[in-house]
Amino acid sequence: MPDGGGPLKTTSLPGSSAYIFLLAGVGALGGLLFGYDTAVISGAVGFLQRHFHLNAGLTGWAASSVLVGCMIGAMAGGPLGDRFGRKPLILASALLFALSGILTAVAATLDHYVLARLLGGVAIGAIIVSVNLLIQRQGSPEWNAEYGWRWMFGSLSVPAVVLTIMSLLIPESPRWLMSRGRRDASREILVRIGSEQEAENGLREMEQSLAQESGTLAELFAAAYRRPLLIGAALAVFCQFSEINAIMYYAPEIFKSSGAGLESSFLQTLLIGLVNLVFTVVAIRLIDRAGRRPLQLGGALVQVIALTAVGVAFARGLGGLFLLLPILLFIAAFASGRGPVPWGVISEVFPMRIRGSAMAVAMLIL
C-alpha cells in the first residue's frame, strides 16, 4: 500500500542492534550538547570576565545568555519538528550549534559573544567530556584570558559535528511519518528496529495515539488542567531555585574564591561532572523502583543539608574537602532526584493530546 511519500531511503547497517545503537547515540549526543556546553561555560566564565572586563551583572549575563536561546528553541522546536520532521530539525540544530561554537570562539565584543551564545541556546533547546582542563593547561592565566576561553567554546563544535554526521544516517521519526500518512515508511523503520509483529503492534499504537492528539495550546490553560500545569511549572521552577546552575556554571570560581589554585579548581570541577554523571545513572535505576515522590523529597532534604554545610564552610573560611564534599553531596542529590524526576512527572500528569505543549511550556519556564 503506498504511503503517499515515496520510498524511504535509509542507510543499511548490519543488524538491528547496530541500528538501535545509532538511534540511541544520536539521542544521547543531543543531550550531551547541553551538558558539554555547561561544562565549557563553567571553565571559561572567569576568563571571559577578565577578557571583556565584565562586572558581576554582565558576567552573569555572559554565563546565562544561552538559556534565553534555549527558551526560544524549546518553544519553536515542537512546531518546527511537527512541520518539517524530527530528522531535519536535529540536523539543523547540530549545524547551528557547531556554528555557534565557532562564532563564540572568534567573538570580538561581548555583543558578538552573546549573539553567538543565543544561537547555541536555540540549538540546545530544539534538540534536548570536558576539555577545559586540557585547554587551560596550555598556557598562563593571561593566555587563557586572551585565547584559552576561545578554544574552550570552539571545542563545542566537535560534538555538534559528530551529531551532524550521525543525524545524516538516521531515518525520520516513524511517528512523524505516520502523522503524514506514510504508514509503509514508518513500518519499514520499525521492522529494522524489531520484528514484523512488533512493527505492526507499534503502528496500531501510534494510530490510536495520533487519533487522540487533537489538543491545542489554549486547551492546556483550561480549568481542567490548571492543577497539573501548576504542579509542572512549580517542579520546573524549584528545580532551578535549588541553585544547581550557580554551582554548575561557577564551580571553578567558587573553588578559587576558597583559596584553590587554578588547576586544582578545574580538577575539582571535573570531579563534579563525574559525580553528576554517576548519580544520573543511579536515578535511572531508582526512579521506577523507589518512586518519584521519595526521590524528589529525599533529594530536596539532602540538598538543604549540603548547602548548609557549604555556607558554614565559607563562613569559617574553610576550603579543600570541607567545601568539596558538601558540593559533591549536593550534586549527587540533585542528579539522583531533583534534576531528572520533574521531567518524568511533567510528562505523566498530562494526557497525550496536550503533552507536547505542556513539555514546551515547562521547558520555557525551566
Length of the chain: 366
Measured distance CA(100)–CA(103) in Å, rounded = 5
Render the burial of 327-350: b for 16+ CB within 10 Å, e for the rest: bbbbbbbbbbbbbbbbbbbbeebb
Share of the chain above pLDDT 90, in %: 4
Q: What's the average model confidence in pLDDT over 218-226? A: 74
* DSSP 8-state symbol, 155: T
Instruction: Inform me whether the pLDDT recorded for 9 exceeds 50.
Output: no
At 1 the pLDDT is: 38
At 129 the pLDDT is: 33
Nearest to 26 by CA among 115, 107, 105, 90: 90
Instruction: Inform me whether the pLDDT recorded for 240 exceeds 80.
Output: no
| Neighbouring residues of 276: CB distance < 8 A, sequence distance ≥ 6 | 35, 248, 331, 334, 335
Residue type, 202: G
pLDDT band at 309; cut points 50, 70, 90? very high
At 208 the pLDDT is: 75
Residue type, 127: I
At 345 the pLDDT is: 78
Nearest to 46 by CA among 241, 255, 310: 255
* DSSP 8-state symbol, 15: S
pLDDT band at 210; cut points 50, 70, 90? confident
Instruction: Inform me whether the pLDDT recorded for 190 exceeds 80.
Output: yes
Instruction: Inform me whether the pLDDT recorded for 89 exceeds 50.
Output: yes
Grid cell for residue 319: 576550603
How distant is the alpha carbon of residue 30 from its chain centre?
7
Greatest mean pLDDT range, 157-166, 194-203, 321-330: 321-330
Q: What's the average model confidence in pLDDT over 218-247? A: 78
Instruction: Inform me whether the pLDDT recorded for 283 exceeds 80.
Output: yes
**Pick from 34-38, 45-49, 248-252: least confident:** 34-38
Instruction: Inform me whether the pLDDT recorded for 71 exceeds 50.
Output: yes
Q: Compare 180 and 11 and report the one with higher pLDDT.
A: 180
At 88 the pLDDT is: 82
At 11 the pLDDT is: 42
| Neighbouring residues of 278: CB distance < 8 A, sequence distance ≥ 6 | 332, 335
pLDDT band at 308; cut points 50, 70, 90? very high
pLDDT band at 231; cut points 50, 70, 90? confident
Instruction: Inform me whether the pLDDT recorded for 132 exceeds 50.
Output: no
At 134 the pLDDT is: 46
Q: Compare 295 and 358 and report the one with higher pLDDT.
A: 295
At 329 the pLDDT is: 93
Domains of the chain by start residue, with CATH: 14-170 (1.20.1250.20), 215-366 (1.20.1250.20)
Instruction: Inform me whether the pLDDT recorded for 216 exceeds 80.
Output: no
At 312 the pLDDT is: 92
> What mean pLDDT, rounded, does the chain reach?
75
CA distance to 21, 47, 98, per residue, from 170 (Å): 11, 38, 19
CA distance to 133, 184, 346, per residue, from 101 (Å): 18, 39, 31
How distant is the alpha carbon of residue 76 from its chain centre?
16
pLDDT band at 15; cut points 50, 70, 90? very low
**Pick from 1-5, 245-249, 263-267, 303-307: least confident:** 1-5
